Structure 1
Amino acid sequence: MRRASLLAEAAAHAPRMRAELAALVERESYSSDLPALHSCADLVAELGTQAMGSPPRRLESAGRPHLLWPGSGTGDVLVLGHFDTVWPTGTLARWPFEVDGELATGPGVFDMKAGIVQLFAALRLLPSTEGVAVLLTSDEELGSPSSRALIEDTARGCRAVLVPEPSADGALKTARKGIGTYRLDVGGRAAHAGLEPHKGVNATVEVARQVLRIAALGDCAEGTSVTPTVLSGGSSMNTVPEHASVRVDVRAWSAAELERVDAALRALEPVAAGARLELDGGINRYALESAYSAHLFASAVREARALGLGPLRGAAVGGGSDGNLTAGLGVPTLDGLGAVGDHAHAPGEYADLSAMPQRAALLAALIGRLLGTGRGTGR
């Protein structure tokens, strides 16, 4: 099955992978900068065309570019990722792409531009890309508001979804928590804080009471976190606040827990007479439960062993990705197939260049196993 030669071929691609990574990181792609996203999409499309042998369909939604290389039909293997980053345009000026030994740093290098480079290298290692669909989006870091329908429509009918998001200290991500996002708005009644505070309904006091109720919905034993985050209220120092709000982040390992918290938030009632509550938001994405990744992970373990890469670990993580969306459809999904490195979304994020050919070979071997095509001679 040519596993040894596959790894050697991947190693031969290392200089090209490094050059492509530098070019991608140096093409900034902040999620909220549409011109930058279009510019980065141009480069991603060019690199992907070389790997796939054909240009992508460039699909726009809400002004955002998404790139789709459609497969040959039902039963495709979908490789799903994103090219937007959390780093504001201009970050590169103070933190340029740099290589120190085998470690590359720069905005977005780990999450997830190294994963995109590894993906394209893997595709070049296959004898054919028939049966492989690739979707790269530009709003994952925002929660995929414009690409969600595209992701779900593309994933339906696929036999598997592989996600080259960053690994967890080298481990593949076999489970991810589901996410709920909410905003609770509190309405009160304004009054002069010095002359007649008793005539007011203090929205800040009310939101404080609700924050305690909300935080109590978490369940450590179940791994469910309910975290009040951004808090605001009031308009002036000497006015009883008429408005206040709190944002809430919910994470859980199961659909049942997400739905329990969702129902509890919707059942909140005011404490103070005259106060009003309005809840916005809901369950953003269900969990990627281990049942949907188990078979794919077992296949990846076998391929890693055959490639001589040593033991392959799996990990359950709290952060979500677009893999949650596909697992939520019931499509087998394996995440974390991207870069080995650390510090995603943080200064100093880095990717291990020495691991990139190995991970490209693993992805190629896994795709080949799923499609039953074996390993290619490379292109």
Structure 2
Amino acid sequence: MIPDPAQAAAVDVPALHAWLREQRREMVDDLAEYVNHETPSTDKALLDAGLAWLERWLFTRLGAPARRRRMDGGRYGDVLVLDYPGSGTGPLLFLAHYDTVWEAGTLAAWPFTVVGGRATGPGVLDMKAGLVQAVWGLHALDALDLPRPPVRVLLNGDEEIGSPASRPLIEEAATDAELSLVFEASADGALKTGRKGVGMYRLHARGIEAHAGLEPAQGASAIGALAALVPELHALSDPAAGTTVNVGTFHGGTRGNVVAGYAYCDIDVRAATQAEAERLEKALDALTSPDPRVTLTLEGGWNRPAMERAETSGRLMALTRALARQLDVDLGEVTVGGASDGNFVAALGRPVLDGLGAVGAGAHARHEHVLVDAMAERAALSAGLCAVYASG
């Protein structure tokens, strides 16, 4: 059950914020140490080392969990689930991935630094600062002798590559959670109550090779057939509905003097609603080759379902806005094109708030940064939410 926004008045969010501001140096030190553990999605050894550090750090800040589970991710990062006891309704599920898009060695040329109130470094915004804020929010409740609800922290190391190993564990953890909080970066401070679903497809075309000069008519160009379909694919986009289709890569052929016998393209599709996702799926399945001698094969599918703004989203935003107003913050909400593990939770019909993480910009880019002054504010906001649930 989602608490009434009036219950926010019982939580002294400014006191939480004041305490967290006093701890800002330690928060930034924690963030620096976390960023200095490189955790690229494709490097299992570094992921394991990063997760080991995280578990030690969590013990330091939150104490021992009541229950610990670590699931082998195979060639992907392991999943760590820690359950902490508390009072009131719960558990609240904290979702945070520890992998980043940055390859090993990036840190050498781009070290963690703080300049002009901005902290920068690989993965600082997406999403290492978010987890630091979340944990410090809980730490603030302990320090001020305030109750905290039962909390389940799930850390996964494969989000940036689609959460192939962790998805079933995320869905399992969310099933009995009172609320799931996703500490992905905010959108200029706004929470994310809607996210597009993401589909990843590869379209193969197989034709007939022939000498391009001697017997071109004997060939059936896979490149020609596939290229003719690109405008048709892009035409499936519907900007008004929030639907995008992008052919991002195109490969084929062997030599310039050979009619191409094989080609393929990679297609990224995004839809804001399940209805649009179904329309796209049907259209992709119905694709036909303009040359009957060229056969098409479609592989792939929807990696993440759409996170549509639910009725519960409005009530959760009302509660969170009431907490934010205590800090004179006018909290906004947006729907964004990128997906997260929150999409999986929303597809289960479970309440979820996303974008509770850091304020900054430049995810997946070299100008990635977080605003240091906003870290205490965001931590106080998540702590306030937890305090409301602890009193419920």
Task: Give TM class, smaller chain.
Answer: over 0.9
Whichever residue aligns with residue 275 of structure 2, its letter is A
Q: Which of 215, 231, 238 is the equivalent residue of 1:219?
A: 238
What does the per-residue CA deviation read over 1:19-54, in whole Å, with 9 as the maximum and x for residues that have no partner?
100001111011111111111111111122223322
Q: Deviations over 1:99-124 (max 9, x none)?
A: 11311111111111110110110111
Contact 2:130 2:183 (C-alpha < 8 Å) held by counterparts: yes
What is the correspondence of 1:297-312 to structure 2 with a 5 Å cutoff?
A: 297-306=317-326, 308-312=327-331
Instruction: Compute the displacement of 1:371 (Å).
Output: 3.5
2:117 and 2:372 in contact (8 A); partners too: yes
| Stretch deviating more after TM superposition (139-148 or 362-371) | 362-371
Q: Where does the alignment leave 5 or more consecutive residues of structure 1 unmatched?
A: 374-379
TM superposition outliers: structure 1 runs of 4+ over 6 Å: none
Are the equivalent residues in 2 in contact too, given 1:30–1:84 (CA < 8 A)? yes
How much has 1:70 moved relative to structure 2? 2.7
- The verdict on how the C-alpha distance between 1:331 and 1:12 changes in structure 2, with shifts beyond 3 A counting, is same
1:1-379 equivalent positions in 2, closer than 5 A: 1-54=11-64, 56-63=68-75, 64-70=77-83, 75-126=90-141, 127-291=146-310, 292-306=312-326, 308-372=327-391
How far off its partner does 1:288 sit?
A: 1.4
Which 5+ residue runs of structure 2 have no aligned equivalent? 1-10
RMSD over equivalenced CA pairs, Å: 1.6
Cα shift at 1:309: 3.7
Q: Which amino acid aligns with 1:40?
A: G
- Deviation (angstroms), 1:71: 5.4
Question: Which residue of the partner structure matches residue 7 of structure 2?
Answer: none
- Does the Cα contact within 8 Å between 1:52 and 1:129 map onto a contact in 2? no
> What code does the residue aligned with 1:158 have?
A
* Per-residue Cα deviation, 1:289-327 (whole angstroms, up to 9, x for no partner): 111522212111011112x24211111111110011100
Aligned equivalents of 1:277, 1:129: Cα separation in 2: 56
State the AA in 1 paired with 2:313. Answer: S
Task: Provide the secondary structure at the position in 1 that maps to 2:211.
Answer: coil
> What's the secondary structure of 1:27's corresponding residue?
coil
Alpha-carbon distance in 2 for matches of 1:265, 1:209: 14
Q: TM-score, normalised by structure 1?
A: 0.95
SS at match of 2:386: helix
Question: Take 1:356 and 1:164, find their aligned partners in 2: how far apart are those partners?
Answer: 12
Q: 1: distance between equivalents of 2:351 and 2:364?
A: 27
- State the alpha-carbon separation in 2 of the partners of residues 225 and 213 from structure 1: 13
> Do the aligned residues in 1 keep the contact of 2:273 with 2:308 (CA within 8 Å)?
yes
Amino acid at match of 2:131: I
- Using structure 2 for the length normalisation, give the TM-score: 0.91
1:128 is displaced (CA, Å) by: 4.8
Q: Secondary structure at the residue paired with 1:61?
A: coil
Preserved CA contact (<8 Å) 2:149 2:386: no
**CA offset at residue 329 of structure 1?**
0.7
2:8 corresponds to: none
CA distance in 2, matches of 1:4, 1:347: 34
Contact 1:303 1:365 in 2 (8 A): yes
**Which residue in 1 is equivalent to 2:6?**
none
> Matches of 2:237 and 2:305 in 1, distance apart?
17
